[in-house]
Structure 1
Amino acid sequence: MDGHKIIKTLRHKDFIKVTHTGKCFEDGAAIYAKEIRENIFLLFIILKDIDIENIQALIAHFDCFSSIGLKEPEQIMFYLSIKDKNDLHYFEQYLKASHN
């Protein structure tokens, strides 16, 4: 599974692409967010590296949707980082499981 398939899957699951102008995330990162509870958001951050795609997933508390990408989260409750191409298989399985 590559970054394009992941982005397509996230869009299909009603994630919204967030433009970030703050210093919370690296420049060039593609950020997709979805509110899962009041002011609690599931974020997927896809960073482009020279050799691999680095995917990060987190559940975090922000004061509002518009503060994502501008401010640091008030609290991070879950964080997952995938840096190895072989680990994308497990990430793909997670996305399929969350669809059910």
Structure 2
Amino acid sequence: MDCQKIVKSLNHKDFKRVPNKGSWFQEGAAVYAKEIRHNIFLLFVILKDIEIENIQALIAHFDNFSSIGQKEPEQVMFYLSIKDKEDLHYFEKYLKISDN
């Protein structure tokens, strides 16, 4: 998977990288978040393991932006795990990632 394209796209779409200091996300995961409604956030979590790259997308309710990466969400409303190239193909179409 080309996570660099995804991270570049997230940065262009006003997502902010969140410090991952809690225990809810895997250690070493890169967490990007954007508020889509009051205290409702769209998150992309990029997990890098030795053998696989895994991207998780979720919509979740947190107390506030600063609680992301430190506490569990109040509620998870949507969750998607992307583990292979076919899943990534649809994900890239959704984000309209360019080759630049």
TM > 0.5: yes
Q: Give the 4+ runs in structure 1 shifted more than 2 A.
A: none
**TM-score, with structure 1 as normaliser:** 0.92
Pairwise CA RMSD:
1.3
Q: Where does 1:29-40 land on structure 2 (aligned, <5 Å)?
A: 29-40=29-40
The residue that corresponds to 1:92 in the other structure is: 92
SS of 1:69 mapped into structure 2? coil
Given that 2:20 and 2:28 are in contact with CA atoms closer than 8 Å, whether structure 1 keeps it comes out as no
Ranges in structure 1 where 5+ consecutive residues have no aligned partner: none
**How far is the alpha carbon of 1:52 from its aligned partner?**
2.2
Structure 1 distance, partners of 2:28, 2:17, is 13
**How far is the alpha carbon of 1:87 from its aligned partner?**
1.6
Q: By percentage of residues, which structure has more helix?
A: 1
Ranges in structure 2 where 5+ consecutive residues have no aligned partner: none
The residue that corresponds to 2:44 in the other structure is: 44
Residues 59-78 of structure 1 show CA distances to partners (whole Å, capped at 9, x for unaligned) of 00001000001100000000
Structure 2 distance, partners of 1:21, 1:85, is 29
Given that 1:53 and 1:85 are in contact with CA atoms closer than 8 Å, whether structure 2 keeps it comes out as no
Identity of aligned residues (%): 75
Structure 2 distance, partners of 1:86, 1:40, is 28
The residue that corresponds to 1:61 in the other structure is: 61
**Pairs aligned (count):** 97
**How far is the alpha carbon of 1:51 from its aligned partner?**
2.2
Structure 1 distance, partners of 2:76, 2:47, is 19
Q: Which one is further off, 47-56 or 28-37?
A: 47-56
